[in-house]
Amino acid sequence: MGFKTPRRIIVEYAIPFQSARRKFTEVMPNWRRELKVIEVLPRLIHLQKLGYYHSHPQFGKKRGTPELSKTDREYMQPGEIEIVVAINDSKRSSPWKESKNKLSGTLGKYHITIAGFYKRKRNDEITQYRVLCPYAIGFDYTFEQPLV
Catalog residues that contact Zn ion under the rule CB under 5 A. 69, 72
CB of 97 to Zn ion, least distance (A): 23
With respect to Zn ion, which residue has the nearer C-beta, 72 or 98?
72
Among candidates 55, 116, 118, which has minimal Cα distance to 88? Answer: 55
Q: Which residue number has the CB closest to Zn ion?
A: 72
CB of 139 to Zn ion, least distance (A): 30
134 near 98, Cβ under 8 Å?
no
With respect to Zn ion, which residue has the nearer C-beta, 69 or 77?
69
With respect to Zn ion, which residue has the nearer C-beta, 30 or 94?
30
- Maximum Cα–Cα distance across the chain: 44
H or E segment at 137?
A: helix 134-137
H or E segment at 61?
A: none
CB of 116 to Zn ion, least distance (A): 13
